[in-house]
Amino acid sequence: MDLPEHDLDADPAAQAHADRRRIVHAALAAAAFVALLWWIKLFEQWLGAFSALTLRPGEWWGLIGIVSAPLLHGSVAHLSANTLPMLVLTTLTLAVYPRAGLRAIPTIWLLSGIAVWLFGRPPAHLGASGLSHGLMLFLFVLGLARRERAAIATAMVAFFLYGGMLMTVFPREPGISWEYHLFGAIAGAGAGLVWRRLDPPPPRKRYSWEDEDEQTADLDHALDPTEPPRPTAVPVLWHRPEPERTGTILPFPTRSGRTDSD
């Protein structure tokens, strides 16, 4: 696979500082979200489970779970299993794709919830695993679609750490919402395809020989007028005129006994 070389920034120190700041901000945002999940679980330990806020397929009251269900978890072990994937995948998403990531996260959240409400099994679904599955597929698809070094490296890290999530999009264990996993993964892959060009690519490195060819052609033409100039330096001297429309279009009468539908 041929990967384009990227041009170095004019100020590498400033670029490295900006990259570190973006990664730190992404990690803080991911940590804040995970902390929110743990605070909600702590309140559940004190006040009881928020079962009324779970996603219940086919029930009108269960529509509220489209927004609230990813914030709830059935047990501390359930939340612990989702903590590290959410930290890593959210940080990678916001650090590498700050523009597309801000659109992909709510898209995965809402679309996976709507699909589970429409097609999921009763009685209730909850947990952030649908979002984590969506982010993993989002990063993986962007690595394939963009074909940049940073994108491919991010996709490889995400797939190496959490590629096993693909095995959980099928029904395997009772009590596991494979529907949330499946629809979250589909939403993440779709978001990656739709917004693959939203974040600008790094500037392509321009090699010296590209400038030398143009400079050599201009110099040869200046020293020897018989040498042809480069194609981009040749002016356009003649343009084809637009043809003049003349004549009259005569309508043909329809034959008797025939209709337009014949």
Domain ranges of the chain: 12-194
Q: Which tokens belong to 203?
A: 């500037």
Q: Is the pLDDT of residue 215 over 80?
A: no
Q: Mean pLDDT across the chain, nearest whole number?
A: 84
Q: CA-CA distance, 131 to 128, in Å (whole number)?
A: 5
Q: What is the pLDDT of residues 14-40, one digit of tens each?
A: 878 888 999 999 999 999 999 999 999
Q: Which tokens belong to 123?
A: 């009685």
Q: Which tokens belong to 230?
A: 């480069």
Mean pLDDT to the nearest integer, 102-111: 97
Q: Is the pLDDT of residue 105 over 80?
A: yes
CATH topology of domain 12-194: Rhomboid-like fold (1.20.1540)
Of 104, 94, 98, the closest CA to residue 28 belongs to 94
The band of 125, judged by pLDDT with boundaries at 50, 70 and 90, is very high
- The pLDDT score that the predictor gives to residue 261 is 43
- The pLDDT score that the predictor gives to residue 10 is 55
Of 123, 125, 150, the closest CA to residue 139 belongs to 150
3-state DSSP call for residue 224?
Answer: coil
Cβ atoms of 11 and 208 closer than 8 Å? no
Q: CA-CA distance, 97 to 95, in Å (whole number)?
A: 6
Q: What is the pLDDT of residues 132-185, one digit of tens each?
A: 999 999 999 999 999 888 999 999 999 999 999 999 998 888 888 999 999 999
Q: CA-CA distance, 31 to 169, in Å (whole number)?
A: 26
- The pLDDT score that the predictor gives to residue 17 is 83
> What percentage of the chain exceeds 70 in pLDDT?
76
Q: CA-CA distance, 156 to 134, in Å (whole number)?
A: 16
Question: Cα angle at 60 between 58 and 65, to 5 degrees?
Answer: 85
Q: What is the pLDDT of residues 51-76, one digit of tens each?
A: 899 999 999 999 999 999 999 999 99
Can you give the pTM of this predicted structure? 0.75
Q: CA-CA distance, 16 to 188, in Å (whole number)?
A: 29
| Lowest mean pLDDT segment, chosen from 84-98, 170-184, 242-256 | 242-256
- The pLDDT score that the predictor gives to residue 133 is 97
- The pLDDT score that the predictor gives to residue 202 is 74
Q: CA-CA distance, 161 to 40, in Å (whole number)?
A: 27
- The pLDDT score that the predictor gives to residue 32 is 97
Q: Is the pLDDT of residue 235 over 90?
A: no
Burial class (CB in 10 A: 0-12, 13-18, 19+), 241: exposed
Phi-psi region of 234 (alpha: psi -120 to 50; beta: other; left: phi over 0): beta
